[in-house]
């Protein structure tokens, strides 16, 4: 835990309960060890969506579709959500969930299958832009995605990056990290330094869940 576990539990206790359809999907993910956005992250995401009221959302990392469906519940009927996933076993579940009639706002969501960097470049070629981007994919690839995301993020748009503090381990020395995780560790530190020092972005990092970075693209 990044912050005191009792504090997190109390904050989550105060938060709104998920609707029954999302609660079912959350339970499935937890029971099957599928990584989805944590309860406290859901609260931040819901707040931002209702504050900003985005019309065009891009998500990098669909998993089983939970966060896309969650965002569809907290956006206007005019909002369109594009979400990207490449892992086949996740796609099977995502396709099933995104067509489930229990999710009445599922028609807002378009699933793009394939490697994220390839799909991002296709979106750039199509001259698309988004006023809200949620990055929750392979952490070691965040720096690879960033140049394309900057092209796709509209001025005044928000980029939300999940899992940036890696449960607090990002602050540790590289040599205290297991050898197999050192590349991800160094790449995440590079990503955080970059988004906090880019003149095009105003970024705040919150110790929520596994860490969230919220970046505003300057006009």
Query: Distances in Å between the alpha carbon of 64 and those of 18, 46, 149, 202?
Result: 17, 19, 22, 31
Ordered strands of the 80-85 beta sheet: 109-113, 80-85, 56-60, 130-135, 153-162, 212-217, 201-206
- What tokens were used for 75? 């956006």
- Domain of 115 in residue numbering reads as 5-217
Residue 175: per-residue pLDDT: 46
d(CA 77, CA 56): 11
Q: For residues 127 and 75, what is the distance between their CA atoms, to the nearest angstrom?
A: 23
pLDDT score at 97: 96
Number of structural domains the chain divides into: 1
Short-list 44, 47, 39, 40, CA closest to 22: 39
With beta carbons less than 8 A apart as the criterion, state whether 177 and 186 touch.
Answer: no
Please give the Cα distance from 56 to 128 (Å, whole number). 9
**Do the Cβ atoms of 109 and 73 come closer than 8 Å?**
no
Dihedral sign from CA coordinates of 139, 140, 141, 147: positive
Widest Cα–Cα separation across the chain: 49
- For the chain, list residues with pLDDT below 70: 1-3, 166-185
Other Cβ atoms within 10 Å of 203 Cβ, number: 17
Query: In this predicted model, what pLDDT tens digit does every residue of 112-135 receive, in sequence order?
Result: 999 999 999 999 999 999 999 999
pTM above 0.85, yes or no: yes
DSSP-derived secondary structure letter, 175: G
Read off the CATH number of the domain in which 176 is found. Answer: 3.40.50.150
Task: State the Cα–Cα distance between residues 162 and 184, nearest whole angstrom.
Answer: 14
Q: Are residues 147 and 117 in contact, defined by beta-carbon separation less than 8 angstroms?
A: no
């Amino acid at each position: 835990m990044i912050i005191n576990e009792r504090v997190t539990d109390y904050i989550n206790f105060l938060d709104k309960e998920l609707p029954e359809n999302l609660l079912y999907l959350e339970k499935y993910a937890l029971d099957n060890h599928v990584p989805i956005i944590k309860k406290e992250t859901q609260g931040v995401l819901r707040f931002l969506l209702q504050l900003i009221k985005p019309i065009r959302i891009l998500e990098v990392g669909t998993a089983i579709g939970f966060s896309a469906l969650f965002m569809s519940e907290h956006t206007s009927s005019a909002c369109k959500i594009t979400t990207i996933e490449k892992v086949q076993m996740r796609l099977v579940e995502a396709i099933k969930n995104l067509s489930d009639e229990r999710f009445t706002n599922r028609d807002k969501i378009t699933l793009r299958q394939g490697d994220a960097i390839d799909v991002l470049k296709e979106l750039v070629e199509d001259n698309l832009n988004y006023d809200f981007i949620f990055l929750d994919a392979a952490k070691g690839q965040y720096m690879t995605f960033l140049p394309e995301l900057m092209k796709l993020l509209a001025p005044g748009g928000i980029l939300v990056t999940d899992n940036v503090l890696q449960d607090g381990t990002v602050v540790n020395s590289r040599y205290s990290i297991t050898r197999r995780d050192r590349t991800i560790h160094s790449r995440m530190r590079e990503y955080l330094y970059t988004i906090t020092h880019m003149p095009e972005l105003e970024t705040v990092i919150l110790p929520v869940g596994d860490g969230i970075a919220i970046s505003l693209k300057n006009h």
